[in-house]
Structure 1
Amino acid sequence: MSNPSASTHFAPQLYIPKGQTDIQFYINLGAIEIFCFRNDDGTIHVAELELDGAIFHVHETMSSTAIMDPSKLGAVTSIIGLFVPDVDAMMQKGIAAGAVEIDPAQDYDYGYRQGMFRDPYGHYWQIQKKIGLK
């Protein structure tokens, strides 16, 4: 992993329902757990994960952040765009790990191959690769 403090980058924070003890979906997707702080009862408070150099966090929903929990909101306000070398392989890995396919992978005239899935916590992931304009 490159030194994240040496460059500007995004690190999305995804909210998971309070009381979760397992974030295995993200590990099955290929993420490596950098750290995980747990509450006294063993539930996850916040974890930092890395997926092929892309850092992101999962955080339990708190009263001040409940509006950002897609499982409670019933909608999302952003989509995690993840660029990968093999869109189809990552789509398959996500679905095998428990994601729900929203859009199958396909090539688009604007020069991307993209597919989308929803993870078990309600977050939408657009898996993509630049392939060149048609």
Structure 2
Amino acid sequence: MYIPPGFNTITPYFFVKDAESFIAFLVNGLGGSETCRTMRPNGHILNVQVVIGTSTVMVSEATIEYPNMGCAFYLYVENADASMKRAIEHGASLEMDVQDMPYGDRQGGVRDKHGNIWWVSERVLHEPYTS
């Protein structure tokens, strides 16, 4: 099986209203980098690819056939406190303050203005978690 560089076996694909502002949040609020952009003839976004860390996500403008839909994501970062601050500065709302979790992550949560929840986590336990 061939998977293009930057992609994983499962790749999140977002259909959102106002895709341009969502892409700006992925880049500015979550530290991503836009790598590819394809537009529809009407000027709306057909597909944009954004790399965040080691993963690529895809974004399209929502349509009647593919309506806006939210989801939840678990995002590993180098520094949960700084990443949460950055996401909030770029329009996300607080879901949960950053705190040390019993399973070895320092984690907080935000909701972007498109309805997605991001559990922003920094691994602080450097060994496998056992309950």
TM-score normalised per structure 2 = 0.79
Q: Which residue of structure 2 lines up, in the alignment, with residue 51 of structure 1?
A: 52
- Residues 76-91 of structure 1 correspond to what in structure 2 (within 5 A)? 76=70, 78-91=71-84
Q: Check the 8 A contact 1:21/1:42 in 2, yes or no.
A: no
Distance 1:89 1:119, change over 3 A: same
Q: Which residue of structure 1 lines up, in the alignment, with residue 14 of structure 2?
A: 14
Distance 1:8 1:54, change over 3 A: closer
Query: How much has 1:130 moved relative to structure 2?
Result: 2.2
SS of 1:120's partner is coil
Distance 1:60 1:52, change over 3 A: same
State whether structure 2 residue 30 is matched by structure 1 residue 37: no
Distance 1:93 1:35, change over 3 A: same
Q: Which residue of structure 2 lines up, in the alignment, with residue 73 of structure 1?
A: none
From 73, 81, 85, give the equivalent of 1:92.
85
Distance 1:12 1:85, change over 3 A: same
From 119, 124, 127, give the equivalent of 1:131.
124
Percent identity of equivalent pairs = 24
Query: How much has 1:20 moved relative to structure 2?
Result: 4.2
SS of 1:116's partner is strand
Q: Check the 8 A contact 1:15/1:60 in 2, yes or no.
A: yes
Q: Distance in 2 between matches of 1:116 and 1:9?
A: 25
SS of 1:5's partner is coil
Structure 2: which amino acid aligns with 1:91?
Answer: M
Query: How much has 1:82 moved relative to structure 2?
Result: 0.7
Q: Which has the higher helix share?
A: 1
* Count of aligned residue pairs for this structure pair: 123
Q: Check the 8 A contact 2:19/2:59 in 1, yes or no.
A: no
Distance 1:52 1:8, change over 3 A: closer
Q: Check the 8 A contact 1:25/1:120 in 2, yes or no.
A: no
Unaligned runs of 5+ in 1: 71-75
